[in-house]
Amino acid sequence: MQTQQEFEQELQNNIRIVHMERNQHLRDYRQRQIELAQQLSAQGIAEALQQLWCDYIDSYESNIPLEEQHLGLSARLRALADYYRLHPEQRAAMQCIFRQLEQIDQAYGFASSVGRGVSTLKTACDGIDQFDLLQKLLQREQPRIPAAALSALQQLSQASCYFHPDCKGSYAELRKLAGAQLDAMPAAEAASLLYWVMQALVEIQPKNLPSHDAQHSFSTVLEKMLAAQLGAAAENEHAALAEAAVFMCLTEHFHVLLRAIHDRKLIQLMAKLTAQKGKKKQLTPEMQSLLLKLDFICLNLMGYFPAKQLEKYQQKIVETVGIAQQEQAEALSPAGAAHPAEAAYVLPFSETEAAVGAFIQQGRQKLVWVAQLQREFDALPAGEKHQWMQFWQHIDSQKSGKPSKKWLIEAEKIWKNSAVGENYLAQLQHWLGVIQKASPRDTRPFDSKNENTLRGVLWFSQFQQHQQAELLSLLSGFSQFCWRKIEGVGAASAVIGGVCLNLLAQRGLAGLAKLSFLQRKIRYELGQKQIRKALNEAAQANGLSADEIKETVAEDFGFAAGQSAAALWGDCQLTLHCSGDKRCSVQVQDAQQHAIDVLPKGMQGSGIFKDLKKQALAVEKQLHVYAQNFEDNMLQERQWPYAFWREYVIAHGLLGWLASRMIWQLHLSNGAVHAAVYHNQAWRDAQQQALDIEPAQIEKVSLWHPVFSAAAAVQAWRGFFMAQKIQQPFKQAFREVYAVSETEAAGAQSLRFAYHYLQQPKFKAVANARGWHYDIQGGWDNFSMPSRHFSRQGIVAALRIGLPEGNDLMGASGVYLYIKTQEIVFKAGQGAELNLAEVPKLVFSEAMRDIDYFIQGCSIGMDLALELTGFPDEMRNYYASGYRQSNSQIWANRHYSLDAVLSQLDIAAQCRLDQHFVYVTGKLHEYKIHIGTGHSFMSPNDQFLCIVPERKIQAVHAAHLFLPFDDDAMLSLILSKVLLLSQDDQIQDALIQKQIKVA
């Protein structure tokens, strides 16, 4: 707490600041307001108002806070409120002054007591206006208002005009008194009072005030006292609210009344009252119309409930109204007429898009796919429509998260006794296709009602016994759609995504194969947990590990050694072939088994060709998943029993094809370990010599990692793959390796990759994709350190970061745009830091490799168009030279690969390499391309040369260049530029031509 001396010193400092910076403005402002006040005083406004105004302005001149005792503030405010009440003709002018006072308070900040005084005065005057509105209502409607209700309203309005609400006790106390008053009344009088209380609340709402200020949000005493009556009735679920006239008034003005009482109970009560009236068949057409206009989601009051809870309340009301409409239609239908239920049946879908955040300002859009499904149902023939209506009605009958035994029995009857069973799969494929195509991409595709309906639709798939492959692919694809991430929302629909996973888990080994595939595609822990549970249960039942069960059920699509069986189209044979870059393509041969480059007329549009193209896409996705699994197995140092490996890995049509392109370690029964590749049905070493090892000698196999081998052995394996032109499914022989230096070995922290500036949003995406945990950071209370858990070794690698601050270094949403790398540490056990010499070689190397990739992909040095405004000098210096002088192992590895590839090309004589650049001599200029960034420059003055990447990557494929791995996009980019610029006189691209000619 400040001492008196400190307070006085601070006050003197404030006075000096005011005199230096603000006094002239305040004196000018004071003079203008005095003149305005004098003009108003001449019009008859009380002198007290003028004096109050001048006192406020004078307080700024001296910068001394106004005290209530000095002004007699309460008496002054009461006098002003009395004057306001007695002079309606001058209220507009007085409100003008009130608004001016509020603006001054917002600009300069009144002392707290004075600021509250302004708000009190404004609220009191609003209360006077509301009192006048209420009196006009009572006079206008007096013949219709029962005496008891009229008397109660008059009593409520007395002495409630110009006091701050706190002066009349808390709102809870008011509600308690109001509840007691209602309970003491006869039912008819209570209903009448509630009806007119609601009418009064509607009448006095702020928008009806003649002096309404959109920025003013204080509730008056009168408004609070009226709201207390309605709030008490809602809290106690008073029977009077169910009376027809009261219910109609509540429904018609629901949004206004909810804002008045600010109570979630009213939302619950509306749903409950609607259900009661529906059950008693008391919902009139007028009530139904009003109920269907309710929109809880767009109330801007979603803080009361989560969005999904509000959806459920609204859906209950819509369902109740729908049943009432159907019953009334049936009652009015003449005997012998077509069944009205079929003609007017509405599919059990919500037609508006789901709510997402806490508030929706613009309302929700209509869902296109719901309208399309409804139109298709309406167009069905009468008999078929009746059968499908039974299907939809049964789906609508379930409300739980799991189908009951009774529900499944009835569903099976519908399946067997109607056209549903015969047409279900085709319809499901069509429906899900329409939904995926027409669903919004930036928000949740389904609200809780639609999730409930789709859940029932999918449950019917349990009875589908034929076309298993089609069904499993359909469920797998829709699961990916539901588990996809929507920015700012999360998973599109974890509910339906989870239903798909559960259904796949019930489909035996084929379903488990799909789950194994989805384990790589789903990022959310909830989905991962479901998949792990299903795989672990299957593994335990079969006496296998979780990894082994995934390989046991792995799909091969009918492939053998990376090639499918031939399909015939006329005299041509069509087969699918896998290539080293994990691609799958259709190859066509004629009757003599010669490759056909130009497809025969009609083949491309044939069903066979389209099916093969579709399957090729599925195979490519699966190859990427299998390759990722193998890479994870390498990092986990997994060992396969050799017998299992031979049966389920190398003999598999796709796994075996990938495995034959990797280096394995053979663990022999005598303890010896040999590195080898299974090539041409034999184990071969790096010198391409077959190993003299019998299968019986091999106990286990594991994937080789270069960190455990000498540099000469690594170079030998690289030479093997280059000579054999075998492209590995992931970097193994050409993998970057990082060893602990002598300096690092002496401590527990590494600064090898410290002091790099990275773009935070891009860093988060790259880090998360590489298995690191990191949450975006901004100007709020949170902290996140990028970390990766090496589960088998029980070690966590962590990268400490700094957050450069400044207005220009922060995005509009408050997110820090940049981070600064600091030291790297490794933790084990209870979080104790390890000395780097104690960290396992593989863990250290892989963690450092990841961080190197973060820098190469996210450094600000990669962005030549970066605007440097607001950057501190350290960031500017780094941007200018720090990144491009980086000594990255990725650059070194890329340098080696470029040297190996370029030396085999016809243009080798035109190219040379140094530590940071590859130089290309063209016919018109000499060019250099940075090995780290891919940026290209041309002589004579190192002018930057802009080449759009999409136009260059094709050059690598067109030249049929062999690359030993396919997961370095920058290497492909650099090679494509080299090929292009080596023949710069033949470039056709106008943009590039223009730059070259200008230079």
Task: Assess whether 787 and 906 both reside in one domain.
Answer: no
Domain end, chosen from 239, 258, 275, is at: 239
Task: Assess whether 828 and 897 both reside in one domain.
Answer: no
> Strand, coil or helix: what is 673?
strand
Max mean pLDDT among 600-609, 833-842, 933-942 falls in: 833-842
d(CA 716, CA 711): 9
- How many CB atoms neighbour CB 487 within 10 A? 8
Q: Kindly write down the DSSP assignment for every residue of 137-194, as one continuous string.
A: HHHHHTTTS-HHHHHHHHHHHTT-SSS-GGGG--HHHHHHHHHHHHHHS-HHHHHHHH
d(CA 296, CA 307): 9
d(CA 541, CA 539): 5
pLDDT at residue 86 greater than cutoff 70: yes
Write down the residue that tokens 């286990």 correspond to: 700
- Give the pLDDT band of residue 677 (cuts 50, 70, 90): very high
Q: Which amino acid appears at position 646 of this protein?
A: R
**Residue 240 burial class via C-beta count within 10 angstroms: exposed 0-12, middle 13-18, buried 19 and up:** buried
- Residue scoring higher pLDDT (978 or 593): 978
For the chain, report the end-to-end CA distance as a whole number of angstroms.
70
Q: Residue 809: inside a domain, yes or no?
A: yes
**Residue 278 burial class via C-beta count within 10 angstroms: exposed 0-12, middle 13-18, buried 19 and up:** buried
pLDDT at residue 827 greater than cutoff 90: yes
In order of 139, 925, 943, 995, the CA distances from 985 in angstroms are 93, 10, 18, 13
Q: What's the count of helices (H) and strands (E) in the chain, helices before strands?
A: 39, 20
Residue-level pLDDT at 956: 47
- Residue scoring higher pLDDT (77 or 125): 125
Residue-level pLDDT at 866: 78
Q: What is the mean pLDDT of residues 265-285?
A: 89
Q: What is the mean pLDDT of residues 257-269?
A: 83
Per the structure, the count of domains in the chain is: 4
In order of 197, 277, 278, 291, 510, the CA distances from 287 in angstroms are 20, 10, 11, 6, 53
Domain end, chosen from 882, 906, 931, is at: 882
947, 936 contact by CB (below 8 A): yes
Closest listed residue to residue 485, CA positions, set 521, 458, 537: 521
Q: Which residues pair with 796 in a beta bridge?
A: 789, 827
Residue-level pLDDT at 166: 44
Domain end, chosen from 239, 267, 285, is at: 239
For a pLDDT cut of 90, what percent of the chain falls above it? 30
Residue-level pLDDT at 443: 79
Task: Assess whether 878 and 893 both reside in one domain.
Answer: no
Establish how many alpha carbons lie within 13 A of residue 42's alpha carbon, considering only the half-sphere containing its beta carbon.
6
pLDDT at residue 307 greater than cutoff 70: no
Q: Which residues contact 222 (CB under 8 A, 6 or more apart)?
A: 127, 130, 131, 134, 156, 157, 160, 161, 204
Phi, psi of 562 (to 5 degrees): 80, 15
Residue-level pLDDT at 963: 78
- Residue scoring higher pLDDT (383 or 34): 383
Residue-level pLDDT at 430: 95
Task: Assess whether 816 and 852 both reside in one domain.
Answer: yes
Residue-level pLDDT at 361: 40
Residue-level pLDDT at 970: 85
- Give the pLDDT band of residue 323 (cuts 50, 70, 90): confident
Residue-level pLDDT at 355: 61
pLDDT at residue 784 greater than cutoff 70: yes
Task: Assess whether 899 and 872 both reside in one domain.
Answer: no
Residue-level pLDDT at 124: 76
Residue-level pLDDT at 46: 46
> Strand, coil or helix: what is 490?
strand
Task: Provide the 8-state DSSP code for 293.
Answer: T
For a pLDDT cut of 70, what percent of the chain falls above it? 81
Q: Residue 724: inside a domain, yes or no?
A: no
Q: What is the mean pLDDT of residues 841-865?
A: 90
Q: Residue 29: inside a domain, yes or no?
A: yes
Q: What is the mean pLDDT of residues 185-207?
A: 87
Closest listed residue to residue 654, CA positions, set 615, 689, 688, 687: 615
pLDDT at residue 739 greater than cutoff 50: yes
Task: Assess whether 988 and 896 both reside in one domain.
Answer: yes
- Give the pLDDT band of residue 8 (cuts 50, 70, 90): very low
383, 339 contact by CB (below 8 A): no
Task: Assess whether 754 and 855 both reside in one domain.
Answer: yes
Closest listed residue to residue 879, CA positions, set 929, 937, 820, 934: 820
Closest listed residue to residue 306, CA positions, set 295, 297, 316: 297
- How confident is the prediction for the chain on average, in pLDDT? 81
276, 268 contact by CB (below 8 A): no
In order of 558, 573, 598, the CA distances from 568 in angstroms are 16, 5, 17
pLDDT at residue 498 greater than cutoff 80: yes
Task: Assess whether 852 and 900 both reside in one domain.
Answer: no
**Residue 470 burial class via C-beta count within 10 angstroms: exposed 0-12, middle 13-18, buried 19 and up:** middle
pLDDT tens sequence across 51-62: 555 555 454 444
Query: What is the domain range of residue 218?
Result: 129-239
683, 691 contact by CB (below 8 A): yes
Tokens of 324: 């009432």
Any idea what the CATH number is for the domain that residue 854 is in? 3.30.310
- Give the pLDDT band of residue 339 (cuts 50, 70, 90): low
- Give the pLDDT band of residue 825 (cuts 50, 70, 90): very high
Q: Residue 560: inside a domain, yes or no?
A: no
Q: What is the mean pLDDT of residues 338-344?
A: 56
pLDDT at residue 38 greater than cutoff 70: no
pLDDT at residue 951 greater than cutoff 50: no
Task: Assess whether 148 and 88 both reside in one domain.
Answer: no
pLDDT at residue 471 greater than cutoff 90: yes
- Residue scoring higher pLDDT (185 or 473): 473
Sign of the alpha-carbon dihedral angle for 623, 624, 627, 628:
negative
pLDDT at residue 47 greater than cutoff 70: no
Q: What is the mean pLDDT of residues 75-80?
A: 66
Residue-level pLDDT at 67: 43
pLDDT tens sequence across 526-574: 888 889 888 888 888 888 888 888 888 888 888 998 898 888 888 899 9
d(CA 386, CA 384): 5
Q: What is the mean pLDDT of residues 184-193?
A: 87
- Give the pLDDT band of residue 456 (cuts 50, 70, 90): very high
pLDDT at residue 2 greater than cutoff 90: no
Task: Assess whether 877 and 901 both reside in one domain.
Answer: no
Tokens of 550: 């995934």
What's the residue count for the chain?
A: 999
Q: Residue 814: inside a domain, yes or no?
A: yes
d(CA 697, CA 26): 96
In order of 37, 220, 549, 753, 858, the CA distances from 706 in angstroms are 86, 76, 28, 21, 26
Write down the residue that tokens 């809290």 correspond to: 235
Helix axes 382-397, 448-459, angle to 10 degrees: 110
Write down the residue that tokens 């008490």 correspond to: 232
Q: Residue 606: inside a domain, yes or no?
A: no
446, 489 contact by CB (below 8 A): no
**Residue 551 burial class via C-beta count within 10 angstroms: exposed 0-12, middle 13-18, buried 19 and up:** buried
Write down the residue that tokens 């406004």 correspond to: 45
Q: Which long-range contacts (CB under 8 A, 24 or more apart) does 24-33 make?
A: 26/57, 26/60, 26/61, 27/61, 29/57, 29/104, 30/54, 30/57, 30/58, 30/60, 30/61, 33/57, 33/100
Tokens of 734: 């050409």
H helices of 293-347, in order, are 307-332, 340-343
Q: Residue 140: inside a domain, yes or no?
A: yes
pLDDT tens sequence across 870-928: 788 888 888 877 666 667 888 888 888 899 888 888 889 999 998 889 999 998 889 99
Tokens of 710: 């000498």
pLDDT tens sequence across 342-386: 556 888 888 777 765 433 444 457 788 998 999 999 888 888 888
Phi, psi of 266 (to 5 degrees): -65, -35
Q: What is the mean pLDDT of residues 452-469?
A: 92
- Residue scoring higher pLDDT (612 or 350): 612
- Residue scoring higher pLDDT (969 or 565): 565
Task: Assess whether 758 and 877 both reside in one domain.
Answer: yes
pLDDT tens sequence across 212-244: 554 444 577 778 888 888 888 888 888 888 999
Element (H, E) at 827: strand 818-828
Closest listed residue to residue 703, CA positions, set 730, 655, 665, 646: 665
Closest listed residue to residue 522, CA positions, set 474, 484, 477, 472: 484
341, 326 contact by CB (below 8 A): yes
Tokens of 947: 């080449």
pLDDT at residue 156 greater than cutoff 50: yes
pLDDT tens sequence across 379-418: 888 888 888 999 999 998 887 888 999 999 999 999 988 8
Phi, psi of 541 (to 5 degrees): -65, -25
Q: What is the mean pLDDT of residues 136-161?
A: 81
Task: Assess whether 770 and 802 both reside in one domain.
Answer: yes
Q: Residue 751: inside a domain, yes or no?
A: yes
d(CA 706, CA 842): 9
Quote the longest CA-to-CA distance of the chain. 115
pLDDT tens sequence across 564-595: 888 888 889 999 999 887 889 999 988 888 88
> Strand, coil or helix: what is 819?
strand
- Give the pLDDT band of residue 331 (cuts 50, 70, 90): confident
**Residue 928 burial class via C-beta count within 10 angstroms: exposed 0-12, middle 13-18, buried 19 and up:** buried
